[in-house]
């Protein structure tokens, strides 16, 4: 590739070879669909009696892969394998651990087109979003490696006690916990499996990854990168099966030492309670949902605001935890912003996400498609207005998949539940307010606190950064009002119901979450 650096903020204008590479890869993947993939436990491919057939949301007749429907016995086998591998892996010098991780990251980069193509077919992401998810994963893994390296394995010489007649040596050492469970969601299946797994491994833990049942194939291809990089057996284990059975068995096990769960608030809170039901407290990193606002002041650059809002509202069909699902606008610029947002939204191309022109692919599955119909009905019944969208699309090939229009809603009473609940669909509600203080009150009046965007003048921006309750906040950003964080630039994490650790992934304080401190005192 050229010196173009792909991030979610640069992806709008990629070089031509990126398209050529992707087109070739899509053809290659489509020619090889329907293979069976096993789980990976203790370095062995494991097949289960029951299978899960994996179909594309683009075309429900397109069988992508046959995956294993693992159960409690597989959960147990994976735990045993990870536990057996831990003593050696945790004592492997960190330099060797990160060498392997960097090799896996390089393999991910090398395979970016094949992986991106598989992601498009399985998740329904448009090509740039899919390539972004893959590239981000390699960066997240490298970021954890860099942190371990810069901190020299997190071994720090402490002060010496002022003892008379003795010499004291005190060392602070961060050490891995043991077996780390990574449960990932469907929408960023690569980055949100590979990122946490990479941090856990860099820290010296062994891992078990369990992907969403909507996206087991792409995560299996990620695990191949770890296998091909040469990770010892049992260090990375991969199990597939329903969250409620296999996932729950992992969460309920006393032999899991820490968990990173990325997914919805409800499932996350249940995991928090269940995991907390053990004999003692174990680290629980939760990365949960969002109901992300964009506030537009009367002093805003409306062109920037409109672009940023539309990109963040409808990228990945509104199925980003960081999606801009609420827009709050000061009265004097309301009509003008509304008309520009509507105009830009109506230009978005809906269709097969593997094609170059498409911005919106399908939503992930039948249940999300059904939810879209229910929510739009509810919005109509509440007397709100659809500025644009509001329908599913079924013409031509769109009838084969789960396509929903990008939908903008006004005049929905602020007391309506849709202002507070995460829909995870291409539906964004817009409200008019008299002042920025009123806007801020609405913005913060939700259980979530993941991302937020603001458009206004410099003084207002400082006020916004100070008052907004969210973990990732952007000002005057046309590349995305609330979306598009990139490791190393915008470490990602949430406040309130959006996250548990208070430290963002891909940032300074993340890899440390995967280790506990030991102070080693020796008196001579």
Residues that bind ligand NAD (CB under 6 A): 183-188, 192, 210-213, 243-244, 247-248, 251, 262-264, 267, 271, 287-290, 321, 422, 424, 450, 492, 494, 498-499
CB 343 to ligand NAD: min, Å? 28
Q: Which two tokens stand for residue 260?
A: 């990173």
β-bridge pairing 155-157 and 236-238: unpaired
Dihedral over Cα of 295, 299, 301, 303: its sign: positive
> Which residue is associated with the tokens 């409306």?
302
Strand partners, 176: 515
395 is catalytic: no
Q: Where are the beta strands (DSSP E) in 211-291?
A: 236-238, 258-262, 284-287
Q: Name the closest residue to ligand NAD (Cβ).
A: 243
CB 257 to ligand NAD: min, Å? 16
CB 95 to ligand NAD: min, Å? 30
Q: Which is nearer to ligand NAD, 7 or 476 (CB)?
A: 7
Q: Which is nearer to ligand NAD, 212 or 428 (CB)?
A: 212
Q: Which is nearer to ligand NAD, 125 or 432 (CB)?
A: 125
CB 96 to ligand NAD: min, Å? 30
Residues 268 and 291 sit within 8 Å (Cβ to Cβ) = no
Q: Which two tokens stand for residue 478?
A: 């046309």
Residues 364 and 124 sit within 8 Å (Cβ to Cβ) = yes
Cβ atoms < 10 Å from Cβ of 202: 28
Reported as half-sphere exposure (CB side, CA atoms, 13 A), residue 252 has a value of 10
Residues 212 and 189 sit within 8 Å (Cβ to Cβ) = yes
Q: Which is nearer to ligand NAD, 229 or 316 (CB)?
A: 316
* Residue 513 DSSP symbol: G
Q: Which is nearer to ligand NAD, 292 or 297 (CB)?
A: 292
CB 252 to ligand NAD: min, Å? 8
Q: Of the residues 139, 287, 330, 460, which is catalytic?
A: 287
Helix (H) or strand (E) holding 337, with range, is: helix 331-347
Active site residues: 287
């Amino acid at each position: 590739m050229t010196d173009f650096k792909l991030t979610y903020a640069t992806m709008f204008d990629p070089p031509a070879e990126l398209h050529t590479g992707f087109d070739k890869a899509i053809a290659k993947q489509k020619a090889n669909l329907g293979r069976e993939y096993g789980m990976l436990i203790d370095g062995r491919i494991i097949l289960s009696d029951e299978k899960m057939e994996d179909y594309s949301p683009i075309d429900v007749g397109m069988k992508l892969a046959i995956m294993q429907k693992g159960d409690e016995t597989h959960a147990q086998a994976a735990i045993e394998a990870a536990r057996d591998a831990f003593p050696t892996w945790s004592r492997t010098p960190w330099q060797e651990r990160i060498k392997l991780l960097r090799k896996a990251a390089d393999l991910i980069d090398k395979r970016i087109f094949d992986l991106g193509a598989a992601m498009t077919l399985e998740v329904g992401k448009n090509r740039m979003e899919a390539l972004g998810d893959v590239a981000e994963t390699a960066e997240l893994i490298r970021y954890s490696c860099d942190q371990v390296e810069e901190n020299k394995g997190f071994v720090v010489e402490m002060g010496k006690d002022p003892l008379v007649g003795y010499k004291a040596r005190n060392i602070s050492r961060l050490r891995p916990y043991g077996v780390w469970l990574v449960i990932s969601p469907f929408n960023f299946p690569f980055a949100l499996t590979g990122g946490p797994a990479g941090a856990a491994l860099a820290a010296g833990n062994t891992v078990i990854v369990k992907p969403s049942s909507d996206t087991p194939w792409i995560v299996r291809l990620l695990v191949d990168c770890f296998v091909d990089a040469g990770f010892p057996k049992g260090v990375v284990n991969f199990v597939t099966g329903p969250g409620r059975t296999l996932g729950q068995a992992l969460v309920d096990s006393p032999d899991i030492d820490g968990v990173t769960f990325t997914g919805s608030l409800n499932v996350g809170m249940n995991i928090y309670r269940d995991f907390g039901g053990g004999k003692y407290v174990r680290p629980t990193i939760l990365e949960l949902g969002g109901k992300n606002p964009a506030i537009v002041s009367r002093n805003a650059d409306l062109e920037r605001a409109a672009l940023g809002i539309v990109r963040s509202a409808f990228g990945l069909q509104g199925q980003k935890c960081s999606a801009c699902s609420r827009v709050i606008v000061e009265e004097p610029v309301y009509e003008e912003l509304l008309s520009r947002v509507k105009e830009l939204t109506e230009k978005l191309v809906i269709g097969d996400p593997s094609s170059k022109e498409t911005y919106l692919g399908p939503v992930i599955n039948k249940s999300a498609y059904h939810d879209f119909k229910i929510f739009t009905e509810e919005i109509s019944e509440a007397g709100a207005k659809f500025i644009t969208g509001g329908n599913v699309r079924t013409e031509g090939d769109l009838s084969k998949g789960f396509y929903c229009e990008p939908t903008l809603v006004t005049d929905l009473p602020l007391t309506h539940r849709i202002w507070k609940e995460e829909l995870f669909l291409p539906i964004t509600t817009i409200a008019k307010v008299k002042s920025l203080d009123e806007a801020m009150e609405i913005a913060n009046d939700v259980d979530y606190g993941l991302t937020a965007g603001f458009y206004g003048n410099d003084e207002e921006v400082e006020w916004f950064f100070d008052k907004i309750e969210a973990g990732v906040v952007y000002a005057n950003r046309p590349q995305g009002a609330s979306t598009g964080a990139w490791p190393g630039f915008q470490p990602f994490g949430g406040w309130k119901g959006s996250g548990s650790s208070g430290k963002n992934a891909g940032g300074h304080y993340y890899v440390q979450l995967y280790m506990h401190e030991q102070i080693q005192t020796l008196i001579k």
